[in-house]
Chains A and B, each alone.
Chain A
Amino acid sequence: MDAIILQVLNGLDKGSAYALIALGLTLIFGTLGVVNFAHGALFMLGAFCAVTLNGILRLSSESIDPSRTDFLGNPLKVKTPYVESWFGPEIGGAMIEWSVPLAILFAIPIMAAVGVAIERGLIKFFYKRAHADQILVTFGLAIVLQEIIKYFYGANPIPTPAPDAFTGSFDFGMLLGFDPGVIIYPYWRLVYFAFAALIIGGVFAFLQYTTFGMVVRAGMADRETVGLLGINIDRRFTIMFAIAACVAGLAGVMYAPINSPNYHMGMDFLVLSFVVVVVGGMGSLPGAVAAGFLLGILESFASMAQVVSLLPGINQIIIYLVAIIILLTRPRGLLGRKGVMEG
């Protein structure tokens, strides 16, 4: 029992990332009808927003402290981050330490701007073209974004620590009445899951309970009629693209402490997220979220030692295997609507 709970928990953090990226992909596909291969790159951009903010906050002025010397006997150079000299060491230090959560605020405007720029500058011209063309051009865009990041940040992963308060692990099993030390779970992964749940809930609430969301849903169902009613659906869809970009970006920001960001992390997640979207059902938002968590948990179960010894290598391929089976037996995906991209 404890092993099962542990695997479910382990699956949650990856599942959250899959669910968030798949949610964004589905939003874009459902509204604009575009298959966005650059979505993984947006996830990666988000992670690098966290890296960048961390770097900015650590910018320091260098001064020489004559009262102390280093081990060679020279006067010691002291680095003081600007934020510490501006806001005092306490607030400044806290800002550096909490740079990843702060990066959320930093990432939202950036990702929204990137999203609008991509939609207006590129994808707008591809609505009428074949899906293969959309895949190809966004694939090219993903390469370009990835290489730009590689140029500025190098090819190595950049560790980006979580705030000290969340770096440890806690004994989750104690809460459920197990012996201490059986189920130990890092704080940050729990935070990530809560954050993902919050974002997913937010997006759903936004679509369900606001007028804007209602119009967007109407547009997803029948774009032409909404347009005939005199509503500028294109502008709303552009905003939805920006929101989808933000969702991917925020997923990336919060993922930075779990896995040090590198320039190709987006591609790694993209392939899996597409599989997730297809399993969940193209164009179905609840399907994408459910499939994301489901596959994340399934993956973590498949990597249990007992399972791997029984079926070696299963942990590497389980997601693809499930996707192949689902696509062949239920082409619509788990929760897909009828008639959306069946074939």
Chain B
Amino acid sequence: MLGLNRRDALLFAIVIAITLFAPIILNPFPEGSELAQFNAGYPDLMQRFVIFGIFAIGFNILFGLTGYLSFGHAAFLGVGSYAGVWMMKLLTMNVVPAIIVSVIFAGLFSLLVGYISLRRSGIYFSILTLAFAQMSFALAYSVLTPITNGETGLQLALDDPRILGISQTADGSIPLTNFFGITMRDGFEIAMGGWLFTFNAGYYLCAIVMLIAFYVSIRIFRSPFGVMLKAVKSNQQRMLYTGLNPRPYTLAAFVISGMYAGLAGGLMVAMDPLAGAERMQWTASGEVVLMTILGGMGTLIGPVLGSGVIKYLENIFSKINDNILHQWFSFLPDGLEDFVVAIVYPFIGKGWHLTLGIVFMLVVIFLPGGIVEGGQRIAGLFKRKPPEDKNKTAAASAPSAAE
């Protein structure tokens, strides 16, 4: 089906089902119940899941396949955002041209950065991409203010030309972003018993784009091109000796992942037409690295999982405060309750990044394959291994031990 083998088709089908029914799946707790704060089925958060999912899928095409660790991918997302807002300012509030232009601009910019950065590998490549990203961040803040609007961020205004659309609506406000007339905020709600499900047009646009992006990434992983990229990761020297030049392949991977980042940036402004320079800062690049590693680099589903987990926990952890903690632990005796709350408190709310940092370190140390590897290990515990499988793992581990 669609040129996928059975396993990939199954995976893709599961991902389709989960994304399309996400508004229901992510709202397992009835409205008004105490656990309702763990619901994630509202449009804003779901949009973030899929948008960052796209970003991480793209990053994984570069990092997971070729092993080149870029610390500057947020710059492409930022360039995409700016390009998208400019299209909305100049052309029309329809999101399609904005997204397309975002992808094109991010692609061109990543072609430039990649062409230069890929002349080096390893840590030098990381530093070069970092330097480019920091440069674009600094320039967006200072000199490029006419284009980027500096610290305030680029916003829509009432007197923008919008040649194909209208500058302002009849009641004098800025028109909303739309997809051929369907505004992104549109949607309908279904109340079922105690549950309230919100189906939002913007989310479904993002979700469909994400599914296409995911499909393309599966095809890339399984294509001869993808095999070349894996060859770059495992041994570039050997690849050179067999007469293949790795540069065009890595550059292509870099540009593709830059375009994915631009796509994410374009979708971001399609949902909320605003672009700021802080999106390009290197901490933002660090975030997508965290997502990819946490989920499982080099796997198909890992980056999506990672971005979902990080964005979900970020949202939930930031909401919990000490009152809620006291409620949870109220079954404990008073002194013990205060003690437990005092211990847990630094890790929640504003301390969410602390938890993230610790979890990330633990994953890098003990579970380099991320959530996906963790799942495989757990699955492995329940599966009885046939004896020949053992020989295979022994044979596979022997050369790596010799290295």
B interface with A by C-beta (< 8 Å): 67, 69, 116, 119-124, 126-128, 130-132, 134-135, 138-139, 141-144, 282-283, 286, 289, 293, 346, 350-351, 353-354, 356-358, 360-361, 364-365, 368
A331→B116 CA distance, assembly (Å) = 13
A275→B126 CA distance, assembly (Å) = 11
* Chain B neighbourhood of A35, CB < 8 A: 123
| A135-B131 contact, Cβ under 8 Å, with A147-B357, A312-B143 | no
* Chain A neighbourhood of B130, CB < 8 A: 271, 274
Are A317 and B138 in contact, CB atoms less than 8 angstroms apart? yes
- Interface flag for A98 (CB, 8 Å): no
Are B138 and A313 in contact, CB atoms less than 8 angstroms apart? yes
| A131-B123 contact, Cβ under 8 Å, with A137-B361, A271-B130, A324-B131 | yes
Interchain Cβ contacts under 8 Å between A and B, 19 examples:
A122-B361, A131-B123, A133-B368, A135-B126, A136-B364, A143-B353, A143-B356, A143-B357, A144-B361, A147-B353, A274-B130, A278-B123, A312-B143, A313-B139, A316-B138, A320-B131, A321-B135, A343-B122, A343-B124
A183→B320 CA distance, assembly (Å) = 54
Other than A137-B361, A327-B127, give 5 A-B pairs with Cβ distance below 8 A. Answer: A133-B368, A267-B283, A321-B135, A324-B128, A341-B124
* Chain A neighbourhood of B346, CB < 8 A: 151
Are B131 and A275 in contact, CB atoms less than 8 angstroms apart? yes
- Interface flag for A195 (CB, 8 Å): no
A56 to chain B, nearest CB (A): 22
Contact of B134 among A132, A271, A331, A343 (CB under 8 A): A271
Are B293 and A136 in contact, CB atoms less than 8 angstroms apart? yes
Interface string of A322-339 (1 = CB under 8 A from B): 011001100100000000
- Interface flag for A125 (CB, 8 Å): yes
Are B116 and A140 in contact, CB atoms less than 8 angstroms apart? no
- Interface flag for A193 (CB, 8 Å): no
B341 to chain A, nearest CB (A): 15
| A135-B123 contact, Cβ under 8 Å, with A313-B138, A320-B134 | yes
| A132-B69 contact, Cβ under 8 Å, with A140-B357, A144-B358 | yes
Are B128 and A327 in contact, CB atoms less than 8 angstroms apart? yes
Are A147 and B128 in contact, CB atoms less than 8 angstroms apart? no
Q: Nearest A residue to B67 by beta-carbon distance?
A: A132
Q: Nearest B residue to A314 by beta-carbon distance?
A: B143
Are A278 and B142 in contact, CB atoms less than 8 angstroms apart? no
Contact of B131 among A125, A139, A323, A341 (CB under 8 A): A323
Contact of B127 among A136, A141, A275 (CB under 8 A): A275
* Chain B neighbourhood of A271, CB < 8 A: 130, 134, 282
* Chain A neighbourhood of B124, CB < 8 A: 278, 327, 331, 341, 343
- Interface flag for A117 (CB, 8 Å): no
Are B354 and A151 in contact, CB atoms less than 8 angstroms apart? yes
* Chain B neighbourhood of A137, CB < 8 A: 361, 364-365
B334 to chain A, nearest CB (A): 25
Are A140 and B282 in contact, CB atoms less than 8 angstroms apart? no
- Interface flag for A91 (CB, 8 Å): no
* Chain B neighbourhood of A133, CB < 8 A: 364, 368
A151→B349 CA distance, assembly (Å) = 11
| A328-B138 contact, Cβ under 8 Å, with A143-B360, A274-B130 | no
* Chain A neighbourhood of B358, CB < 8 A: 140, 144
B358 to chain A, nearest CB (A): 6
- Interface flag for A148 (CB, 8 Å): yes
A119 to chain B, nearest CB (A): 15
Interface string of A274-289 (1 = CB under 8 A from B): 1100100010000000
A137→B141 CA distance, assembly (Å) = 30
Interface residues of A in 274-306 (CB under 8 A from B): 274-275, 278, 282
Are A141 and B354 in contact, CB atoms less than 8 angstroms apart? no
B140 to chain A, nearest CB (A): 10
Q: Nearest A residue to B125 by beta-carbon distance?
A: A343
* Chain A neighbourhood of B350, CB < 8 A: 150
* Chain A neighbourhood of B293, CB < 8 A: 136
A37 to chain B, nearest CB (A): 10
Are A140 and B67 in contact, CB atoms less than 8 angstroms apart? no
A316→B143 CA distance, assembly (Å) = 9
B200 to chain A, nearest CB (A): 32
* Chain A neighbourhood of B127, CB < 8 A: 274-275, 278, 323, 327
| A135-B142 contact, Cβ under 8 Å, with A140-B357, A324-B116, A327-B127 | no
A135→B285 CA distance, assembly (Å) = 14
Are A341 and B138 in contact, CB atoms less than 8 angstroms apart? no
A72→B350 CA distance, assembly (Å) = 39
A151→B342 CA distance, assembly (Å) = 13
Q: Nearest A residue to B143 by beta-carbon distance?
A: A313
A343→B125 CA distance, assembly (Å) = 9
Interface-central residue, B128, B131, B283, B286, by most chain A CB under 10 Å: B131
Are B361 and A141 in contact, CB atoms less than 8 angstroms apart? yes
Are B132 and A136 in contact, CB atoms less than 8 angstroms apart? no
A111 to chain B, nearest CB (A): 20
B77 to chain A, nearest CB (A): 18
A247 to chain B, nearest CB (A): 21
A274→B364 CA distance, assembly (Å) = 22
A286→B269 CA distance, assembly (Å) = 47
A9 to chain B, nearest CB (A): 24
Are A125 and B357 in contact, CB atoms less than 8 angstroms apart? no
A150→B346 CA distance, assembly (Å) = 10
* Chain A neighbourhood of B365, CB < 8 A: 122, 125, 137
B56 to chain A, nearest CB (A): 15
Are A140 and B138 in contact, CB atoms less than 8 angstroms apart? no
Are B357 and A144 in contact, CB atoms less than 8 angstroms apart? yes
B246 to chain A, nearest CB (A): 12
Are A135 and B69 in contact, CB atoms less than 8 angstroms apart? yes
* Chain B neighbourhood of A275, CB < 8 A: 127, 131
* Chain A neighbourhood of B353, CB < 8 A: 143, 147
A136→B67 CA distance, assembly (Å) = 13
